Amino acid sequence: MKWSITKSKIFSHCQRKWYYSEIMASPKSKDPLRREAYLLKQLQSLHAWRGSIVDKVIERFIIPSIRAKQLPSEDQVNDYCTRLMENQIAFGKARMHQRPNMTKSKGSDAYCAFFDLEYNGGLDEGKLAVAKEDARTALRNLMQTDFLKSIMEKSSCIIAQRQLTFKLDRFTVSCTPDLIVFYYDAPPLIVDWKVHFFANADSWLQLGVYAVVLSKVKPHRDFPDKARYMSEDAARIRMLEYQLLKNEQREYSISCEDEADIYDHIFKSCIDIDGVAGEKKYDVLDVSQFQTARSPQFCERCQFKRICWKPTPTATRFLLQEVWS
CATH number of the domain where residue 233 is located: 3.90.320.10
234 and 215 in contact (C-beta within 8 Å)? Answer: yes
Task: Decide if 11 is inside a domain.
Answer: no
Do 36 and 105 share a domain, yes or no?
yes
Do 192 and 260 share a domain, yes or no?
yes
Residue 224 confidence (pLDDT): 83
Do 72 and 184 share a domain, yes or no?
no
β 155-160/179-183 pair status: antiparallel
Task: Decide if 136 is inside a domain.
Answer: yes
Query: What's this model's pTM, rounded to 2 decimal places?
Result: 0.90
User: Between residues 201 and 236, which one has the greater pLDDT?
Assistant: 236
Do 192 and 237 share a domain, yes or no?
yes
Calculate ∠ Cα 269-273-275, nearest 5°. 115
Do 163 and 272 share a domain, yes or no?
yes
Do 175 and 85 share a domain, yes or no?
no
Beta strands in the chain (DSSP E): 2-3, 155-160, 164-168, 171-175, 179-183, 189-194, 238-243, 248-252
Do 111 and 170 share a domain, yes or no?
no
Question: In the chain, what percentage of residues exceed pLDDT 70?
Answer: 92
Task: Decide if 65 is inside a domain.
Answer: yes
Summarize pLDDT for 42-97 with one digit per residue, the tens. 999 999 999 999 999 999 999 999 999 999 999 999 999 999 999 999 999 999 99
Task: Decide if 77 is inside a domain.
Answer: yes
Do 219 and 177 share a domain, yes or no?
yes
The rounded mean pLDDT for the chain is 91
β 248-252/238-243 pair status: antiparallel
- Which of 101, 118, 144 lies at the terminal end of a domain, its last residue? 144
Do 185 and 222 share a domain, yes or no?
yes
Provide the number of structural domains found in the chain.
2
Domain that holds residue 194: 156-277
Task: Decide if 322 is inside a domain.
Answer: no
Task: Decide if 293 is inside a domain.
Answer: no
Do 163 and 223 share a domain, yes or no?
yes
**How far apart are the C-alpha atoms of 187 and 316, rounded to whole Å?**
57
Task: Decide if 300 is inside a domain.
Answer: no
Residue type, 69: K
Summarize pLDDT for 279-295 with one digit per residue, the tens. 889 999 999 999 999 88
Task: Decide if 296 is inside a domain.
Answer: no
Do 170 and 74 share a domain, yes or no?
no
- Which of 259, 277, 295 lies at the terminal end of a domain, its last residue? 277
Residue 290, CA distances (Å) to 11, 203, 212, 269, 270 in order: 9, 27, 29, 15, 15
Do 56 and 95 share a domain, yes or no?
yes
